[in-house]
Every structure is written in C-alpha cells, then in structure tokens.
A and B are shown apart, each in its own frame.
Chain A
Amino acid sequence: MTTLFSTKAARPALALLGLGVGLAGCQPNIDSNSPAPSAGSANFSRYIAVGNSLTAGYADNGLYLEGQQNSYPAILAAQFAQAGGGAFNQPLFTAAQASGSGYLRLSGFTAAGSPITTTVPGTAGRFTPTAAPYTKYLSRVDNLGVPGIQLSDIQTANLGNLAPLRNYAASNFNPYFERITPDGSSDTYFQRVKAEVAGTSGTPAATFFTCWLGNNDVLGYATAGGAVASSSITRTDTFNLKALRIVNALTAGGAKGVVSNIPDVTGIPFFTTVGAAARTNFAAASVPTAAPFVYTTGILSPAASNTRVATTLASIRDASGSGNLLLTLTASPYIGLYGQPTGKYWRDFYAQAKPGLPATIPTLGVFLTVLAVDTTKAFGQSSQNPFPSTLVLDATEQTAVATATTAYNTSLLNAANAKGLAFFDANSYFRSIAAGGTATNGVNNTADFIRGNLFSLDGVHPTPRGYALVANEIIKVINAKYGSTIAQVNGNDYRGVQLP
C-alpha cells in the first residue's frame, strides 16, 4: 500500500488548510460611512442653550431630574464633546430632590382605554408666591431653559425675585428663573443671557448657542382654549423686537448658533387626542353626530360675554381630521359627561377662580347666575349648560394661533438670516411627524398620545426619544450650515412613554 500522503502532494494541502484556518478567524471590517466628528467652522467649546420648557427638558407636566438629563441641549452637548465641545452644566435637581416640580406618571388605563395619570409630588416650587421656593442652583449654568418664559417677558425686571410685591403672574415672576438667580437680584432673563454670552471669571464666553424661544407666546393662549384673559397671544411687533434683541445679544461676541422656530400647536397630542377619542366613543354609543354641541367662545369669565355657539358633534375633529373644533387634553374628565345634567366643570372652575373673584360674586350660586349656567340642564347640549371655552379651541381661535405662529416664524427666520445663523424649522418637522410619523431603526414613532413614543403625558412636551430626535434635527442643520460632522444619536436609545 502506498503511503497515505506523499510529501509532495501534502504540501499544497497543508497550505490550503493553513489559509483556511487563517480566513476563518477573519471578522470583516466595515469603515464608517461617516467622517470623524469635527466642528467645521463652528466652535463648540462653550455651548449655551436659551429657551423655555422645551429647552429645560420639561416633560410629563413637570421639570424633574430624568427629564433634565434627557433634554435636547444635554444630548447635543454630548455629541459636541466629540468635536471639541467643552463641559455643559445644567441646573440639575439633586438626587434627593429628583422629582423636581413634580410630574405626571401613568398609572393605568380605564376600561375604555383612556390613560389614568397620577401626580408624583414635587419637592418644592412656588406654585403660589408664598409656597416654599426651590433650592437655589447658583453654580455655572449652560442650559438657560426656563419653563414658562415667553419671548415677550425676557426684559421684565425681577423675573426671578419676589420683591417688590406685586400681583404675581407668569409674565412677571418665574420660579424656575428664581431658582438660578441669586437672592435679591433684579436681573431680567435678557441680562442673564448677556452675562452668560460674555462669560464671567468662572465661565468662558459662549462660542455656540441654540435659541428656542417664543412657543409660550402662543401656547399659553392655545392650551387655555383661548379663554383666559391673562394668557393672550403676544403682539407680533413685540415678538419681532424681542427676537431681534435676543439674537443680537447671543451673537454679540461672535458666537455661532441655531435659531429654532415655533411648531404648530394644533399638531400636538394635547389638542388631537380627546376630540378624536370622544368621537369614537360617541359613535360606539350610537350618539348621532347631528346631536347638538353648544360651547362658549372667547374669554370665559363672569366679566366676559360668554357667547354661546351652537353646532353639532360632527364639528369636533375626529381621527381622520374632519371637523374644526379641537378639544384640549384637559377636557378629558369632562367630555364624557356630555348630555348629563352636571355641574362638575363649573364647580372645578369656581374653585380655581375663587381667589380672584370680586366681592360681588361670593358663592358658587351667584357665579353660575352671572355666567348664565343652569347645571340641571344637559352639559354641552343646552345653551344653559354649555361646554366651556377653556376646553375648546375653535376655528377663530385656531386662526389666531396660526396667524401669530406664521408671523413669529417669519421674525425668527429673518433674525437668524440677518446674522447668518443656522435655522431649525421645527414647524415643518413637527408637521411631518403629525402627518406621518418618523421611523427610528425599525420603530415607528408618531404624534399619537402615549403610544406614539414622541410626546409625554402632558401632550405638549416630548419624551426623551422626542428630544433625541429634535437633537438629531438640530445636528443636521448645524452640519449643513457650518460644515461640521457631528454624529447623530440613535433615537431608540431614549425611552418613549413607559407603561405600567
């Protein structure tokens, strides 16, 4: 028998075997499609964020630690850090005070599928001027997002100072601004921004900024159903003036940045959820769409005319978009009482309005008489027990909102262009989300309340994932404008609404 392998024949065999073993260990290497992060013509060494609740990381109807940690400026700063960005300090609540102002938490669903929320209590917060203040945060602040601030109020003195005594209102006192303002300082928000831009002994001058102010100038009016006198739409000329001032202040030292505009408030789940759900429930209960729906329009107050408008249920906008009346998220506890002889809304309204009522209206009974409300009549059906204006945004009010929003956005675009700044068209972005949603790595995200992943439990402010997608959009406009190559984040790494 011949030898098993002649040495001559064995050599190629062994070579092949060796090649094989070598190849087997080989993990393919894929070079990155994107270039290494770089700053382009921008400088991220000190980034400051100017804005309101959206900038502060407000979510679930409150400002709390987890929300702050997932604010879009925090996400941006982490990405900037890969391209020369420096430290980014936020006025975070401590771990012991992590619940911040308190916030909503989803505790379950009703049999009909409506969400049940409970409030996680906050640790302090000037809900009234006599309530305990927040613990001051006086260290370096790079995230100047102040929940509730309007562009029209950025030059109001003592915005963060209880003294001098006055009729406190959101327009002249802000507890979140108080939290980051030294005791006794009469500084306006504008002065604070200018100081941060210039830098102090402890902080460098700002080299980059994002500015997202102006939402509250129309949002307060809208979320109150256009029915609260003190929540009015800022005049366009005032808005334009303040917009130019803040952009000038931000660019005074040569910093570059991004200006963001105002989304359509009517595309957010705060306005799109309750009406659509109510129409579905009415249909399921065989309530005809021709059934009467009577609501008040304009300011709802004993001093106002409280004009009734009579229409039908078909006017309430349903899931497919037909109907021109929007119901607010706050209408949720009341719309189910349609057609019943109930005074629940009016009692709640009275309890809330009582401190400000004149002496001529000492009791609930007088209050109802002045409003011409008879709680023995069918709620929302009879002109004597109408659905209140605070819970309805009708066509007139929507037009006022839309007109103002368009004018504001023109001002903001002009201000950005005048200084050659990048511009994030949040209006278009949120409109596309409301129309069709956006997919992140195999997950569909929409503007639907709770299940859409993008909006938190207050129906207005985004979830961490929503803020991450906003950060990605801002990164795109920065890269386009300044030639930088900042990497985006994976939206799915940030949570949507977690379910009980």
Chain B
Amino acid sequence: MQVKSILLAGGALLAATSGAQASGFQVGLTGAKNVGMGGTGTGLYLDQASQFFNPGAFAFAPTGFQIGGNIAIPRISFRPGDADQGQRNLQNANVFPFSGFVGFGPKEGKWRLGLGVYTPFGSELHYAQGWEGRYSLTDINLRSVTAQATVAYAITPQFSIGGGLTALVLGDVDLQRDIPVQAQGSSQPAHATLTGKADHKLGYNIGVMFKPSEKLSVGLSYRSAVDAHVGDGDIKITGLPASAAANFTATKFDVTLPLPDVYSFGIGVRPSDKLLLAFDANLVGWSRYQSLDFKYTNGVLGGSNVTSSSSKRQYQNALAFRVGGQYKVTDHFTVRAGTFYDFSAVRDGFVTPETPDADRVGITAGLGYTFGERFGIDASFLYEDFMKRSQSQADLVSLGTADRVAGTYKTNIFVPGVQLYVKF
C-alpha cells in the first residue's frame, strides 16, 4: 500500500551555526556592548567581541577576557487563515545564548591573538497540541556552540587585518511533527521525532580596519558560509498503525542546511571623548538555501519507495542596517542605545512554522559600569519586533509550498543580557 509521501519540513538548523546577523531566527548576541548599540561592531574595536564582528578591528582592541550571557524571551503568536479557531500562542521557551572571548597581545603592540566561544543562536518552539500546522511542525529545539581562534595584525597604526578560524563544536537539533496517518481507535495521528548532531564544520572570518584618525574608523569583514550537516540523525515514529509500519522503516536521516555567508561594513565615529557613534550594514547570503532535502537511510519514510523528501525554501539574500552609540556619562558609567532594521530572508508564501521570519525592527539599550581600571560589567537590552507576516492557502498552492500552513504570524523577542570583563 502506498501512503502519500510526507514532506518533512524541518528548517531546523537554520539559525544555529552561522552567527549570521540578519533574519532567520537569530539575533546577534555576542558582546553586550555591541548588543546595546544596535548590534553594530564591524567598525569598532571596543573589546574582545571584535574577534566576532571584525577580526581586523581586533588588532586595535584592548586585551582581556569577557564572558556574558542573555535570556532570549520570545513571544510568538499564530492565527490561521480560513478556519480561524482563534489565535495560537506558542508555549514559548526561553533560550540562553552566551559568549566568551579572551584576547592576548602586547599592550602597545601590533598583534593580537584571541580565542572565543559563542552561541550564534539556540531556539526552542513548542506549538499548541493539535494546532493547524501540526503536520508541518509541532516542536523544535536547537542548540549550537561555535569556537573561534583569531589572529590580528596592525600593519600600520591606521590599518589592520585579521582572520579567525571557526569550528562548530556543538550543533543539536530536535524536530517533531505529526504524520497524517492515524490508527483505528486512536485519537492522535502518528508522530515523528528527528534528532541529530551536526558535524564539526570549520569556517573562517576575515576583516580589515582603516583608522585614519582617532575620530573615525571604518571596517569591512566577511564570515564564510558553513553547511550544517547532520549525517547520522535518528528518526523515531510513534503511534503508527501496524499496517503502515512497512512504509516507515527508516531509522536514520541525513540533511544539510546551507547557512549563509555574511558581508559586513561598519563605521565608528567619535565626535568627542565621551561619545561614540556606529553604523553597520550586513548582507547575509541566504540565497544559498533553496530547499531543505532529507535523505532517509535503513528504510523508507512515507511510502514503499520514498527515501528522500524535499521542501522548497528559496530564501533570498537579506540586508540589515544598524545604528548605535554610547555615551560616557562619567568615568565609570556609560549608556548605550541603538536600533536596527533587519530584512527577512524568507519570501512571501514561503514562511514555515520553525522559522516564522519577517522583517524586523530592533531597539536596544545598554549600560556599562567600570570598577577601577580593569574590571567592568555591561548590561544590554534588546527588543525585536517582527512585522506581521501572512500567507494564504491560495499563495501556498500557487507557489508549490502547500506543505506548510496558511495564516498570520507575529513575533516579538526581548533579550536582556549581562557581561563581565577584565582587561589585562
């Protein structure tokens, strides 16, 4: 018996590993100073987080150690299109992105060496039981950690270069959805759980910085694309009717999520000793992600000869623009503020439940306090408001994306964070 093939629509690893600044389900959360300033950093050399934003700028940064964490508090709502039984609020789960960096080098010298570890993102979404999109996605849980080793060199006091080698050291995905097959006498359809670990992939970033004067700095950086590949993921199916078991024998899956590269440009302006203004632009190469393709091994999944599935994504490159600033109120106390506008990577009619992406506006604020010369604490607050995003069933049918659900999504995320640092 042939059971219709299921189109597994997990875009899971999407945000996990790239550190991409724009779109997907990501916020750039490395460095509380930068978060407080709208996520700018490519044209700045404030602290060790420059290893992430612009390894060239790292050459001008102080040496020291910093460690910080955030609580990402998402609130996601969904309202179906036609058969509207009311708004669905996701069982929102907080995630805890963190970052830590250390930088070494001679104080007045030309070079820097650094090590860092950060979570470009983690995401956890649990949709309501039996919600409209249950056959696309019910739950997703992602965790990722990237480690980076960086070297930077100031060729002249005005010009520096740098580069970093990154490695995805942890990438976990847990994806769940219902399968539209139901056993007699059962009140629930079958359910699939896919779990996997991503390969330890290497990547790099490179950057340059021009510092024509103490008042102006200009930076350019590039972060490479890394494909997140889960080669040996596990499939577990529950609630399957006995007569359909022969069509769901696969136990392992393989999937590759192409993640984007990022071009960044940034400017830092210091009109006075106390005031710093920054502007950043990022171009995130999401157009690499055209479809999500799963391969099933050790059997079939969804039909007697179904060993793979493909779901359209057709992501587009996305721009983000950021503006931020900090003001030294006293020798010890600094306030920060910023804003950004981040364009969506997902086209109209392609929004999937695991990444309800949309254009977004962010406002940020931050505080910094130094204890003496060497120690300090920074706090950051980020509020990100996604534009309402809708797609109708007619849109999905005409685009060939009817494996996801029609309706309206609206999301906002609040992320407070804190960071401690010591300069040495």
Contacts and interface: CB of A to CB of B under 8 A. Distances in A.
A31 B79 CA distance: 8
A499 B81 contact: no
Interface string B208-244: 0000000000000000000000000000000001111
Interface residues of B, number: 64
A489 B201 CA distance: 46
Contacts of B89: 27
Given A23-B383, A24-B414, A27-B77, A439 B182 contact: no
Contacts of B183: 498-500
Interface in B228-277: 241-244
B4 A20 contact: no
Interface stretch (A40-48, A108-116, A321-329): A108-116
B310 interface: no
A495 B73 CA distance: 36
Contacts of B365: 16
B288 interface: no
Interface in A1-57: 2, 4-6, 9, 12-13, 16-17, 20, 23-24, 26-34
B133 to A, nearest CB: 6
Contacts of A13: 367, 379
Contacts of B322: none
B75 to A, nearest CB: 5
A12 B243 CA distance: 65
Given A9-B329, A33-B84, A442-B136, A498 B243 contact: no
B239 to A, nearest CB: 11
A490 B83 contact: yes
A399 interface: no
Contacts of B362: none
B319 interface: no
A445 B390 CA distance: 23
A92 interface: no
Contact of B132 (A2, A446, A492, A499): A492
B314 to A, nearest CB: 18
A117 to B, nearest CB: 12
B59 interface: no
B6 to A, nearest CB: 9
A198 interface: no
A450 B1 contact: yes
Binding site of A, secondary structure by majority: helix, strand, loop or mixed? Answer: loop
B133 A30 contact: no
A441 interface: yes
Nearest to B94: A24
Contacts of B1: 109, 113, 115, 450-451
A106 interface: yes
Contacts of A442: 7, 9, 133-136, 402-405
Nearest to A112: B1
B83 A28 contact: no
Contact of A492 (B135, B244, B332, B393): B135
Contact of A28 (B75, B184, B329): B75
A30 B2 contact: no
Contact of B184 (A24, A448, A453, A500): A500
A115 B405 CA distance: 31
B416 A32 contact: no
Contact of A444 (B75, B390, B402): B402
B184 A6 contact: no
B184 A439 contact: no
A443 B396 CA distance: 12
Contacts of B184: 105-106, 498-500
Contact of B410 (A5, A24, A28, A33): A28
Interface residues of A, number: 50
A312 interface: no
Contacts of A443: 135, 180
Contacts of B332: 2
A26 B79 contact: no
Contacts of A32: 79, 84
B84 A487 contact: yes
Nearest to B411: A28
A20 B414 contact: yes
A332 interface: no
A500 B132 contact: no
Contact of B241 (A9, A16, A472, A500): A500
B122 interface: no
A26 to B, nearest CB: 6
B381 interface: yes
Contacts of A4: 369
B3 interface: yes
B77 A30 contact: yes
Given A487-B84, A496-B182, A16 B381 contact: yes
A109 B243 contact: yes
A16 B416 CA distance: 10
A324 B329 CA distance: 87
A488 interface: yes
B408 interface: yes
A362 to B, nearest CB: 44
A439 B397 contact: yes
A490 B80 contact: yes
A449 to B, nearest CB: 10
Given A441-B132, A443-B180, A34 B84 contact: yes
A4 B242 CA distance: 67
B104 interface: no
Contact of A12 (B335, B406, B411): B335
A167 B7 CA distance: 55
Nearest to A116: B243
A13 B369 CA distance: 11
Interface in B317-375: 329-330, 332-333, 335, 365, 367, 369
A28 B135 contact: no
B79 A439 contact: no
B242 A500 contact: yes
A191 to B, nearest CB: 38
A489 B2 contact: no
- 7 smallest CB-CB distances across A and B, nearest first, come from A439-B402, A499-B241, A490-B83, A28-B410, A30-B79, A442-B135, A113-B1
8 contacts: A23-B412, A29-B87, A32-B84, A33-B390, A439-B393, A441-B135, A442-B9, A472-B82
Given A28-B412, A442-B136, 8 more contacts: A27-B75, A30-B409, A30-B410, A115-B1, A442-B7, A442-B9, A442-B134, A443-B135
Interface of B: 1-4, 7, 9, 73, 75-85, 87, 89, 132-136, 180-186, 241-244, 329-330, 332-333, 335, 365, 367, 369, 379, 381, 383, 388, 390, 393, 396-397, 402-406, 408-412, 414, 416
Interface of A: 2, 4-6, 9, 12-13, 16-17, 20, 23-24, 26-34, 105-106, 108-109, 113, 115, 439, 441-444, 446, 448, 450-453, 472, 487-492, 495-496, 498-500
